[in-house]
Copies of this chain bind each other. A is one copy, B any other.
Amino acid sequence: MDKNEIQEGDLVELIGSKHFHQIIRVRTGEIIQSHIGLMKMDDLIGKPWGSVGKSHNGNIFFILQPALSDLIKNVPRNTQILYPKDIGFLLLNLAIGAGKHVVEAGTGSGALTIALANAVGDEGKVFSYEARPEMQKIAKENLQYVGLDSRVIFKIRDIVNGFDEENVDAIFLDLPNAYDYLSQVRKSLKPGGFFGSILPTMNQVTLLLEAFKRESFAFVEVCEILIRYYQTDADRFRPVDRMVGHTGFLIFSRMIQKKASSFPTENFDICGTDSSDQAI
């Protein structure tokens, strides 16, 4: 349970007029310079969350605690990132929870890394592989900024050489050629473990589907998640004019025993107890 008043070291989300929007860590003595004026951080400390502040020239702004989804959407990035609509679903499908050991590759800008680190708790661990050093540098800074870096072990590595870990609970690959690394996944994922990936094109998905058969991954699910926002005017309730049409296809499967793969799993129902569940 969190404190009710803002304290030194808290992450605050400041939202003001003229599209001012910033997530920052409160440091005594520091001053925020923005296009709606200067904001003394000292003035924030001790204020209740949800209250209103004023910049030196009188512009007001709200002081809120950022949601994990806000932190994710605000990470400095030099790559396409995963978004909450996809992350929230994959966390549940990969059974990511307190104490789990999870491998991800590549690290990218660390958006997913933040969500994984948040979910595994202090008892868990995230092992995050990335081939491009400059990329992982940004991700590290992002994790430090949100204070979750202690749960993450970053590695600079082309995963063609495999992962150091063994028997991890889940592995997620956010790599264009995820289908090339299933044998490496096989060595590090524990029996029956959870595998997931996100791929932008159907061509990539079909290659991964073929790789699953070769490498004895079963109970495959492929889906995409669409989010549709609505105007919040009660008198003119309607969907927003524009929406994101595509981020990527989510692919999930379970690693089974090599010999077990001789059994057909197509007809096996892993999506729940009835057809209505199957479609959800």
Please name the residue on chain B nearest to A222 by beta carbon: B230
Residue-wise interface mask of A (198-236) relative to B, using a CB-CB cutoff of 8 A (1 in contact, 0 not): 001111011101100000001111111111111111111
- Which B residue sits closest to A91, measured CB to CB? B88
Say yes or no: B242 contacts A245, CB within 8 Å: yes
Is A116 among interface residues, defined by CB-CB distance under 8 A? no
Give the shortest distance, in Å, between A86 (CB) and chain B (any CB). Answer: 9
* CB neighbours of A226 from chain B (8 A): 225-228
**Distance between Cα atoms of A276 and B222 in the complex (Å):** 23
**Would you call the interface of chain A mostly helix, strand, loop, or mixed?**
mixed
Q: Is A152 part of the contact surface with B, judged by Cβ < 8 Å? A: no
Stretch at the interface among A37-45, A60-68, A131-139, A154-162: A60-68
Closest B residue to A2 by beta carbon equals: B169
Q: A269 contacts the other chain (Cβ, under 8 Å)? A: yes
Give the A interface residue count (CB, 8 A): 120
Does A145 make an interface contact (CB < 8 A)? no
Per CB-CB distance, the 5 closest pairs between chain A and chain B, nearest first, are A50-B192, A88-B88, A49-B192, A243-B245, A73-B272
CB–CB B64/A254 < 8 A: yes
List residues of chain B with CB within 8 A of the CB of A89. 69, 84-85, 88-89, 227
Closest to A210 in B: B234
Q: Which residues of B contact A32 (CB under 8 A)?
A: none
Complexed CA–CA distance, A74 and B222 (Å): 20
B280 touches A21 (CB 8 A): no
Please, which residues of chain B bring their CB within 8 A of the CB of A239? 245-246
Known A-B contacts: A65-B95, A241-B244. Give 13 more (CB < 8 A).
A1-B124, A19-B267, A21-B270, A60-B263, A62-B219, A73-B273, A98-B118, A206-B237, A210-B234, A222-B232, A227-B280, A242-B243, A245-B279
Structural contact, A121 and B93, CB atoms closer than 8 A: no
Contact residues in B for A238 (Cβ distance below 8 Å): 200-202, 246
Q: Is A220 touching B232 in the complex (CB atoms < 8 A)? A: yes
Task: State which residues 68-112 of A face B: CB under 8 Å.
Answer: 68-70, 72-74, 83-85, 87-95, 97-101
